[in-house]
Amino acid sequence: MKIIDYAGSKERRIAAGLLLFGAAYLLLRLYLIRDRTFDADELEHLHGAWLVARGQVPFRDFFEHHGPLFPYLLAPLAAFIDDPIRAVWSARLLMLALTAATMRMLWGMTEPRRPLLERALPVLLLCSFTTFADKSLEVRPDVPAMALLSMVLLGDTSAPRRRLAAGLLLGLAFFFTPKIVYPAAGLIIGWLISDAGGQGVAPGFAWKDFLRRWACFFLGAAIPFAGLALYFLARNGGRAFYECFYLFNRRFRAGFPFTVFWLPSYVENAAVWSLGLFGMWVYRKETVKVCALGAAAAGAVLLPVVYAQYYLLMAPLLCFFAAGALGWLSGRIRSRAARLALALGFCISLVPPLRTQLGSLRDTNAVQVEGIACVMSRTAPQDRVFDVWTGESFYRPHAYYFWFLHDEVRAMLEPVRLEKEIVLALADPRCKGLVWGGYFNTLPAGALDYARRNYRYGGCGRLFLKKAAPAKP
């Protein structure tokens, strides 16, 4: 804390205010960890972790098209925590820890000799950014990917050893979410530009060092690829890994314009988005960071499906440049009154996003907790439960290879075969129940008809239990 020791009294007051804001922000998030609505994606990821903790292999034993590292990261929680609700809380705490690590790395991206406020401002902006605040709390693979990307951005990658580490970190991030390829491509372009700019000092040695750095980078990136390929091949899951993680995602049919989620984010965070994009031009000499953010923004436009969580990969850099742009504008204003007006306008711009975050306190998970408790109380640990995408059975074995069958997944499947396989899964003696949520009603008619004839309401939540077989005469 030396940076505070020699700061003036004015800066210490500002620092104290920022610390109070940070404490209030963390207290709010600790409350939200317990009571905020569970996103179905969170329960989907925890179900995968629960299956992995019981010896199943992703892709081979159950459908997954996200990166395979996330269920293994969460598996220890599912292995040691029997209560499903506490498992969600624990996983959210892990996400909070990764988020805090990202914020610490964002703090470190500003040069240490800069004033305290300049180092704290990007973190303050990140806290106010509603898309970040909303999605970083949830149990998502984008959160560890964001932390790994921030770690790469923080470090000096000029030495071959550090380039090796950068490749390893990006390779790991890819197997959390493959969408990391866009900011990673930007990093590669930025490093190439920076490396090329350093050539010519000692031609023979420079090119040798250039090749050594890039050989180390690709070696580091190859380690996770090779390790996971060998892992799945050894467990007879190589083909399933290729088909689900690569072919399924490459052939993804669903799509919508990036503006569906970007425009609401811009409306709620107009100051951060505008200043961040302006800051990319102001600090265009920050080649690597500019290229990384630019490529991530290009990914938002080019990808067929871009949900709000994708912007976690952009948020730290966006806030870094937004803070820089704000400082640049402030430095060019001579009038004290104009500076105060700028500061006041900036503070006012933070009110809507912070109000939005406070509004999330109204979205509680009480009904979901009751639904999960219903499944846990009416079924035995070994009972299979058919669930389409409610998530309420995430701590029970699933009756079918596909645990989530929302529109995007069903669009990739052949309806006649899907109907036949669902009926077989529901008829399996090991399947004791089903959760009749909204997505269940979108299943093929034959599957719905079979469910109506062979399952009865379980007495709580949305759970239906298999009818007893008729007694033999």
Whole-number Å distance between alpha carbons of 346 and 212: 46
Tokens of 9: 């009294």
Whether 352 and 377 share a structural domain: no
Bridge partner residues of 433 (DSSP): 385, 465
Same domain, 224 and 97: yes
Last residue of a domain, one of 337, 362, 387: 362
Please say whether the beta carbons of 184 and 174 come within 8 A: yes
Q: In whole angstroms, what is the distance from residue 389 CA to residue 108 CA?
A: 40
Type and span of the H or E element at 387: strand 384-387
Tell whether 473 is covered by a domain: no
Say if 472 falls within a structural domain. Answer: no
Give me the amino acid identity at 176: F
Element housing 432 (H / E): strand 431-435
**Rounded-to-integer distance, Cα 232 and Cα 168, Å:** 19
The tokens describing 40, both together, are 């179905």
pLDDT confidence bin for 349, thresholds 50/70/90 = confident
| pLDDT for 14 | 64
Reported residue count of the chain is 473
pLDDT at residue 140 is higher than 90 = yes
Same domain, 415 and 295: no
Work out the pLDDT band at 199, boundaries 50, 70, 90: very low
Give the separation between CA 248 and CA 409, rounded to whole angstroms. Answer: 9
Name the nearest CA neighbour of 436 among 363, 365, 366, 371.
Answer: 371
Q: Are residues 306 and 414 in the same domain?
A: no
Closest CA to 183 of 219, 132, 223, 148: 148
Alpha-carbon distance of 102 to 96, in angstroms, equals 10
Kindly calculate the radius of gyration of the chain based on its CA atoms and give it in whole angstroms: 25
Would 349 be classed as within a structural domain? Answer: yes
Residue 278 and residue 404 in one domain: no
Task: Show which of 329, 362, 395 is a domain's final residue.
Answer: 362
Nearest CA among 187, 195, 192, 196 for reference residue 169:
187
Q: Are residues 201 and 272 in the same domain?
A: yes
441 and 321 share a domain?
no
In 288-329, the DSSP E strands lie at: none
471 domain residue, yes or no: no
**Closest-CA residue to 24 (of 136, 127, 129, 93):** 127
Query: What is the rounded average pLDDT of the residues 446-461?
Result: 96
Instruction: State how far the Cα of 15 lies from the Cα of 5, in Å rounded to an integer.
Output: 11
Assess whether 421 and 337 both reside in one domain. no
| Chain centroid, CA 252 distance in Å | 19
6 and 148 belong to one structural domain: yes
Check whether 16 has a pLDDT greater than 70: no
CA 72, CA 304: separation in Å to the nearest integer? 27
CA separation, residue 374 to residues 329, 353, 452, 462 (Å): 57, 36, 20, 8
Query: What tens digit of pLDDT does each residue of 48-82 get?
Result: 999 999 999 999 999 999 999 999 999 999 999 99
pLDDT-derived band at 471 (thresholds 50, 70, 90) equals low
Structural domain includes residue 118: yes
| Position 18 confidence tier, pLDDT thresholds 50, 70, 90 | low
Given a cut of 50, whether residue 96 has pLDDT beyond it is yes
For the entire predicted model, the pTM comes to 0.92
Domain boundary (341, 362, 383) is at 362
Answer yes or no: is pLDDT of 314 > 70: yes
Q: Is the pLDDT of residue 3 over 60?
A: no
Domain that holds residue 379: 366-466
Q: Do 354 and 438 share a structural domain?
A: no
Clarify whether residues 407 and 270 are in a common domain.
no
Q: At what angle do helices 336-359 and 116-128 cross, to 10 degrees?
A: 40
Is 250 a member of any domain?
A: yes
Nearest to 58 by CA among 433, 402, 410: 402
Lowest average pLDDT, out of 13-17, 127-131, 335-339, goes to 13-17
Pick the residue with more confidence: 7 or 339? Answer: 339
Domain total of the chain: 2
Tell me how crowded residue 32 is: count the other CB atoms within 10 A of its CB: 21
Q: Are residues 391 and 306 in the same domain?
A: no
Confidence of residue 156 (pLDDT cuts 50, 70, 90): confident
197 domain residue, yes or no: yes
Paired with 431 in beta bridges are 384
> How many Cα atoms are found within 13 Å in the side-chain-facing hemisphere of 25?
24
Report yes or no: 370 and 354 within 8 Å, Cβ to Cβ. Answer: no
- The reply to whether 84 falls in a domain is yes
